Amino acid sequence: MKVEVKNKPWKHFIFDDVFSKEDCQTLKDFPRLESGYKNITGFRDAIDNRVFLNDKFVSENPQFKSVLRTLNDTESFEKIFGVNLTNCSPRPELIDDRYPFFHEVHCDHPDKVLTMLIYIDKDDEQNLASDLYIDKNTHHTKLKWKDNGGIGWTIEPNDNKWHGFKPMEYKGVRRILIINWVRNEVWRDDSQLYKDFRNRPFLFNPKKWDKLNDLDRNAKYDTYMDWLGGLNSMDNYTDNVDSLKPNDEDNLYKKLKAYILLCRRYRDDIKVLSYRKNISKDDLENHLNDLQKLVQDNFNEIIKNLSMTKWIYSILMCYLDLGNEEQKFYAKTLVLTLHLDRINFFRGRTFTTFDELTLQTQYNKIKNSTNIETLMKSLSSVPADAYHYFIRYKKDILKILEETR
């Protein structure tokens, strides 16, 4: 995207080539939005020739996922516009204006943080671009319409960024895409927003994360693992991994998450993509063996970066749900041990604590101790019989529990 900064009549940004050719074509190919409006007030609330590209829309029109990924690239837009988009969501709406619609001169609502208006159609002599004003009554500039280009500006309290689309005769359809980034905590209508965070870019950057303290590094990997895939608000999948081919992924965490998703969906046999039709029992056993080897080969890194996250449990649940009897028993024992380690008998309101000091203490125990690793190694050679296991290893288990009590 090419960006040029303008300061008159107020600071705004003119840009070209917002979308790829493929994404721009997706926006053009969507069927025209018919309208039955008759009374034109100059405000969009009075018309029905608009559609919000919200989670439901994108779930029903998956060709728009790539479009929304561009709009969800908050880090890039923060750099371009110099604005903080933390706790904000895009509110994208596709609009087909027809004569005699015009847009009254106005300033944007302060619950909005950033606005982008993009022209989606071929250039022509009509020039149906927006108008900028010095104040409500003083016109300054008629912008130039350019396909896949447009204008953007930030919104601040009590600013005077007056704009609109003044009345004029025109033919055909004026297709535009308006994206407002709005504050999640105050915006009145969630149905207008696209909130699927997994369709945002997320740079895997372990070199930077390794410089963080233990808890912040764990938090980065936790968020990354969550972003890699799962069910969205529409009971559909938004995945950034191929859960049917975990071993083909290009980093350890993608592989772990793909295996977790595969096992979870095979267990639940979610109808969106029936895993039991795609994966035989032999295939599943091979996947579980591959996951076990992956964990063994990368044990220290996994403990370092995921020890204070839910993903250790998620890995163990793969075997607890789908493993053989021996694997189920060992997984259950480890889950119990890990969970007991979180119990804090000195808190009055809850048995489990997640305050930072306790988490740091627990992390240090895992980082500086070989207890869990020793337990995992001892489990690998134990017969499946539960009674025999407890008789033989009772002292070891009690010792570990005593040390973590």
Quick one: pLDDT band at residue 123, thresholds 50, 70, 90?
Answer: confident
348 shares a domain with 288: no
Q: Which residue, 148, 173, 199, sits at the end of a domain?
A: 199
124 shares a domain with 72: yes
Q: pLDDT by residue (tens digit) across 272-315?
A: 567 788 888 899 999 999 999 999 999 989 989 998 888 999 99
* Angle, helices 299-306/281-297, rounded to nearest 10 degrees: 80
235 shares a domain with 181: no
- 132: exposed, middle or buried (Cβ count in 10 Å: 0-12, 13-18, 19+): buried
Between 344 and 93, residue with greater pLDDT: 93
Quick one: pLDDT band at residue 145, thresholds 50, 70, 90?
Answer: very high
Please give the biggest Cα pair distance in the chain: 89
Segment 94-104 shows an average pLDDT of 90
Q: Which residue, 149, 183, 199, sits at the end of a domain?
A: 199
346 shares a domain with 261: no
123 shares a domain with 211: no
Domain encompassing residue 399: 324-405
332 shares a domain with 312: no
182 shares a domain with 221: no
336 shares a domain with 361: yes
151 shares a domain with 175: yes
Task: Please give the Cα distance from 188 to 43 (Å, whole number).
Answer: 18
pLDDT exceeds 70 at position 70 = yes
Q: pLDDT by residue (tens digit) across 48-61?
A: 788 999 999 998 99
Domain count, the chain: 3
**CATH number, domain containing residue 80:** 2.60.120.620
Task: Please give the Cα distance from 54 to 321 (Å, whole number).
Answer: 35
* Out of 113-117, 133-137, 270-274, least confident range: 270-274
Segment 342-356 shows an average pLDDT of 50
83 shares a domain with 18: yes
206 shares a domain with 195: no
238 shares a domain with 187: no
Q: Which residue, 141, 175, 199, sits at the end of a domain?
A: 199
